[in-house]
Amino acid sequence: MTIMRIDASDLQTFSANLFKSIGMQAASADITATSLVEADLRGIYSHGVVRLQPVYMKDIREGRTNPNPHIKVIRDSVSHALLEGDRGQGQLVAHHAMSLAIKKASDAIISVVGVKNSRHFGAAAHWSLMAAEASMIGFCCSNGSLLSAAPFGGAERAQGNMPMSYAIPNGNSNPVVLDMATGEAAMGKVEMARLRGDPIPVGWAIDKQGLDTTDPNMVTAVLPAGGAKGYSIGVVLDVLAGTLTGSLPSAIKGLDTELVGRGNQSGHFIMAINIEGFIPPESFARTMEEHSKILHDVKPRPGFKQVNLPGEIEWLNKEERLSDGIPLQEQELSILEELGSVYGIGPTW
């Protein structure tokens, strides 16, 4: 397996060119491409440029995703809004929603923007980080689109692998970032083990009898992380992003193949909290610094080099990759090049 190092800006230009080739406006193509390349920089490959093919481009081409949505405010107040996403590329809708949430929280201290009728918004951290970059605490979650997880105690799928992210400003250091899904493992990881012929660890997934399995071929559902805890958080996220916004929870969406007009698209719940409404930002930053130092100074367990802040590994990845390029497999690059040739976009590397 040959690994190539591709410059982030080349990958950005290529991705944006692809989106523009299919009619997306230039500024929107940049926003969407940035979300993908940032995910690759941070080491979240599952939400990086691999999404271009087959999902994102195909969904635009076949009309499931709108590359130039007219995002409309359905209801709002000083501290909240509900947006109609016009089946827009999720990154465009989430960018719009978080921009609005930040603006509202400047005055209202806390704000929430719910979104209905959006599409996959990429890595959740990308949107919570917008708030952190505006010196606010950001939160976002989305209703999952594919059922993959069993509820606690259940032998069948009834929940997406629900994503959520918090980002917290951390003075002159990089923001603290929680970016997780509620499943013990992503179905993509089970699939990767299946392709490689590897067993999976006990606790990741169950078979159709609801028994633990290490055979990826036998998997019918992944388990929720932390048992009842991951399951319950997943239900809450399904309600916030799905039910509250009128977009339906994954539990319902995932079982219903006739959901046209019933809010079958993605829903997001996007929140910003203005630190200035509570304590002076300098004081917040000082406590964050002290907190960070305590966590960094904890003696590591055997097998760990050090204790990291949430999101710290991703920041290290980004630093290294901005300097040395994003490592991609030769085969992944071929797929991108082939995709580019379909749309008349040559590789930029």
Report, as residue numbers or ranges, the catalytic residues.
120
Q: Residue 123 CB, nearest distance to a copy of itself (Å)?
A: 15
Interacting positions 210-229 with a copy of itself (CB under 8 A): 210-211, 225-226, 228-229
Asked if 201 touches a copy of itself (CB under 8 A), the answer is no
Q: Are strands 136-142 and 147-149 parallel, antiparallel or unpaired?
A: unpaired
- Looking at the DSSP assignment, which residues form a beta bridge with residue 119? none
Stretch that binds a copy of itself, among 64-72, 92-100, 190-198, 286-294 (CB under 8 A): 286-294
Q: Which of 55, 186, 295, 335 binds a copy of itself (CB under 8 A)?
A: 295
Tokens 């405010």 sit on residue? 73
Asked if 166 touches a copy of itself (CB under 8 A), the answer is yes
Interacting positions 305-324 with a copy of itself (CB under 8 A): 306-311
Query: Looking at beta carbons only, is 23 or 277 nearer to a copy of itself?
Result: 277
Query: Looking at beta carbons only, is 184 or 332 nearer to a copy of itself?
Result: 184
Query: Looking at beta carbons only, is 217 or 306 nearer to a copy of itself?
Result: 306
Instruction: Please state, in angstroms and rounded to a whole number, the distance separating the CA atoms of residues 88 and 26.
Output: 15
Instruction: Please state, in angstroms and rounded to a whole number, the distance separating the CA atoms of residues 129 and 143.
Output: 19
CB atoms within 10 A of CB 306: 11
- Give the tokens for residue 83: 């947006």
Query: Looking at beta carbons only, is 10 or 207 nearer to a copy of itself?
Result: 207
Name which of 172, 138, 178 is nearest 284 in CA terms: 172
Interacting positions 23-82 with a copy of itself (CB under 8 A): 75, 77-80, 82
Asked if 98 touches a copy of itself (CB under 8 A), the answer is no
Is the link from the previous residue into 249 a cis peptide, with omega within 30 of 0? no
Number of residues that this document lists for the chain: 349
Query: Looking at beta carbons only, is 49 or 83 nearer to a copy of itself?
Result: 83
Q: Which of 60, 100, 241, 252 binds a copy of itself (CB under 8 A)?
A: 252
- Give the tokens for residue 96: 């719009």
Q: Which of 271, 326, 328, 339 binds a copy of itself (CB under 8 A)?
A: 271
Q: Which of 195, 258, 299, 344 binds a copy of itself (CB under 8 A)?
A: 299
Contact (CB, 8 A) for 143 and 238: yes
Q: Residue 111 CB, nearest distance to a copy of itself (Å)?
A: 7
Tokens 């499931």 sit on residue? 64
Q: Which of 163, 216, 230, 325 binds a copy of itself (CB under 8 A)?
A: 230
Contact (CB, 8 A) for 212 and 225: no
List, edge to edge, every strand of the sheet that includes 110-118. 72-77, 80-88, 110-118, 266-274, 136-142, 163-170, 173-181
Query: Looking at beta carbons only, is 190 or 235 nearer to a copy of itself?
Result: 235
Q: Residue 81 CB, nearest distance to a copy of itself (Å)?
A: 9
Q: What is the DSSP string of 158-203?
A: -EE--EEEEEEEETTEEEEEEEEESBSS-HHHHHHHHHHT----TT
Task: Report the Cα 212 to chain-centroid distance in Å.
Answer: 28
- Please count the residues of this chain forming the interface with a copy of itself, following the rule CB under 8 A: 81
Q: Residue 55 CB, nearest distance to a copy of itself (Å)?
A: 25
Backbone angles phi, psi at 129, to 5 degrees: -65, -30
Query: Looking at beta carbons only, is 26 or 78 nearer to a copy of itself?
Result: 78
Stretch that binds a copy of itself, among 192-200, 204-212, 324-332, 334-342 (CB under 8 A): 204-212
